[in-house]
A and B are shown apart, each in its own frame.
Chain A
Amino acid sequence: MKKWIVVAIGTLILIFVVLIVLGNYLLKKDDPNFIANLIQTQPDKISIIMSENDKIILKANEDQVMPLASVFKIMIAIELINQYKNGNIDLYEKIPLKEIEKYNQIKDVNSNYTLWKKEVVKNQKNVSLYEIARGMITYSSNPNTDYLIKRLGLESINKTAKKLTKVHTNIYPIGASVLVPHYLMKVQNIKENELEDTLIKMSNKEYEKLVLEIDNLLENKKYPKFDSFYPTEDQQKNWSNRAPKSTASDYINLFNKLDTLYPEEKYNKLLKDLLKIDQSKSLYIGGKNGETINVINRTLKVESGNNEKNIVVFTKDLDYYEQIKVKNNIDSFIKKALKEDYIFNYN
């Protein structure tokens, strides 16, 4: 009798261990078709569009309005070049690092900024505007972004974004937007169990007004002191869903005209250098990623020789499983798509 019990328990544990190991392996295994399947099974969660030499060759749900996550930072880079071109700013002006440090209000959520400081800034006390913008694009650093927003002006950034796209909701400071739940609880005295409701019911206009109010308090150093704050998962989801929005087709159009945005080649090259991910003699890869708790976004420009391909993939409302799968496979999916392994179909 006792022997059987040991065998039964042993088998149970063995099955459990095998399932866990197998599950972990499958989850990490390269599976680009997961994303292709997502387009079919959950079309409202994903937009994709790809162009070759300005001609659209693959598209699905490309006109849906999607949260951009960090992809909107491209607009700030463009506005930076605009103002440089107009002589409003000097790209190589040295800025004291502490000016950017001011926007690192919530240290726990700005690990990218810390990484940027460690790997790029090192011991420098001053950094150029260009370096700050590079940090915003390659490290997706939020304090860099907020500094540039202040420096360039929110109004002109939004004007540029709207000029270049058909649909683009307003961009607003990131640091202040992360603090919205904190502000509601600590200053407006909303109870924790009512917070979620309040956040969901708030209109986008009210939300934006609130963000600007918080930003104003932060700017004037009048925001109540706080030690640390880390938004809960629900708060992060709300934050991500409220982020600036646009469509994949708008961004592919932008990428298609990136080479000819300015009459002078010099400025186009500057912009492409800002967005650069990798470059060799005959190859240029550039773009901006965006990732939040429920969004994985990619925008990519690949030029080899005379051939140019752009691809934009936006997602939203991913649950935890989908988020992991998309995150693990989006790059291999894009690689496959660029090799034209997927066939399009105009419907």
Chain B
Amino acid sequence: MMDNNVTNLETKQNIVEKFYIFMSQERFLKGASLARIGLGLIILYNYIIVYFQRNVLYGPNGILGDNSINYSLYNLFPSQWYFELLYHAGMFFAFLFIVGYKGRIVSIINYILTLSFIRQGFLMTDGGDNLMYLLLFYLLFADTTAYYSWDAAKKKQKNRSSFSYQLRNIFHNFAIVACIIQVCILYFISGLYQVKGDMWSNGTALYYIMQTDIFANPYLTSIALSNDTIMVLVTYASILIKLAFPFLIINKRTKYFAVISIVFFHLGIGIFMGLVTFSLTMIIAELLLFTDEEYEKFSKLTKDMKNKIFSKQIKLQFTNNKEKEDMLVKSKKVIVLYDGWCPLCIKSVNNLKRFDLFNSIEFLSFRDSKILKKYNTDIQTLEKRMHSFNSKGKANQGIDAFIQIIQRMPLLWILLPFLYIAKILGFGQHLYDYIASKRKIIPVGQCNDKECNINYFTHKD
């Protein structure tokens, strides 16, 4: 068919084009946003943990202060107010960075202030701080406020084919790829150094680390030191996983294994060696390895699992109506009958459901004939007022039903005094009836009644 003018697809061309598409589309936004929050929290933690010692350590006359070799904003002016200004500005911008306000500008200011802070405290830094300012630098080119941020709340609709959109994504994706490469180099080089070291190759390194006072948690080392075999195995495993890391993350499945191992490795360092911020920085860097798609899959998986564990009741609803009713009675739930044909009612029910933290109310539409039969009430009465039934089947209507609902929602208890006053003074029920009479009814959903047959095909002509 049509082979005259058709050459085979030029595969090379195809690959380059697909590379462009890969780089110019949104891919690593969620990981970058999570990393922003994580790194921001660590920066803020670093500021707060030495807040009351800040003058002694970092101040112009402090132990680390006024260091002319160090390139840092703190060294520009040796005055007290200037130091205080920088320190507090650092905290403030770290906070803005976490919140994700004006991401592009704030991330630059935050980078400069954090770098200055790290340099000023050069004697107190560790590998985590090094990785921190490298990542912060790469992330300057990334869009770190696309999710979970102030900026994201007023996100505009984007046009995928516009060049500016694609260019933004190219910078973003390149920045994230740079972060990933950085992390890989870090693990690989560190693994290589470990292979070179005698203590690592004969498996005693961890033992000696545990012996030094600064790197040992006095309460936990005895547990760790009690088993030689485990110590040796952990030592070798740590070298192996670090060397294999760059290769493992290429495959989607082995990536999970690599990340989980590294996370456990750093949790171990954090707990046993007390290098908390170092471990956390390393773990947060792993967040950048996953694509938005993977995050969505993960969140769907957790939601499904949550549903499986917590909502046996919901399952029963589908299996057997009788069983469900029994279940509801047993759980002392209140059953509320509402009008499923009235948009206002549906909307109110949806809003109320949000406040029903303990899942103690079951909303059922009385437009369902089975439900109507079960509760043995005529539809005119139900249409007039909302009804609620407690576990013994006793009915409340109108304002009383409303009070019964609110009683089960602690967040809305503030309304209760007003409702009680309205009820006691006698105008509560009248007010309810007035509002209820104003609602509009349109049949939606399954309609069994004859009234519900609307002819959709009628038109003006």
Contact = CB atoms under 8 A, between A and B. Distances in A.
Nearest to A155: B457
B459 A230 contact: no
Contacts of A24: 20, 24, 166
Interface residues of A, number: 50
B2 A342 contact: yes
Interface stretch (B32-40, B132-140, B437-445): B437-445
A324 B166 CA distance: 13
Contacts of A41: 9
Contact of A320 (B7, B25, B454, B461): B25
B173 to A, nearest CB: 10
Interface string B153-193: 00001001100001000100010000000000000000000
B459 A151 contact: yes
Interface stretch (B11-19, B248-256, B412-420): B11-19
B444 A187 contact: yes
B343 interface: yes
A40 B457 contact: no
A324 B23 contact: no
Contacts of A100: none
Interface in A223-269: 224, 230
Given A20-B23, A222-B442, A320-B21, A26 B161 contact: no
A239 B447 CA distance: 25
A150 B460 contact: yes
B381 interface: no
Given A33-B6, A37-B6, A26 B13 contact: yes
B298 to A, nearest CB: 12
Contacts of B347: 224
Nearest to A88: B461
| Interface of chain A: mostly helix, strand, loop or mixed | helix
A321 B17 contact: yes
Interface of A: 16, 19-20, 22-24, 26-27, 33, 36-37, 39-41, 58, 60, 88-89, 108, 150-155, 186-189, 193, 212-213, 215-217, 220, 222, 224, 230, 320-321, 324-325, 336, 341-345, 347
Given A36-B2, A342-B4, 20 more contacts: A22-B16, A23-B16, A23-B17, A24-B166, A33-B6, A36-B6, A58-B2, A60-B1, A150-B460, A151-B461, A154-B459, A187-B444, A193-B299, A216-B454, A217-B442, A224-B343, A230-B157, A320-B25, A344-B1, A344-B2
28 contacts: A20-B19, A20-B170, A23-B17, A24-B20, A24-B24, A37-B6, A39-B2, A108-B157, A153-B457, A155-B457, A155-B459, A187-B444, A212-B456, A213-B444, A215-B456, A220-B442, A222-B343, A222-B442, A224-B347, A320-B21, A321-B21, A324-B21, A336-B5, A342-B2, A342-B4, A342-B5, A343-B4, A344-B2
- Counting from the closest, the 9 A-B pairs by CB-CB distance are A23-B20, A153-B459, A212-B456, A155-B457, A343-B4, A23-B16, A36-B6, A27-B17, A222-B442
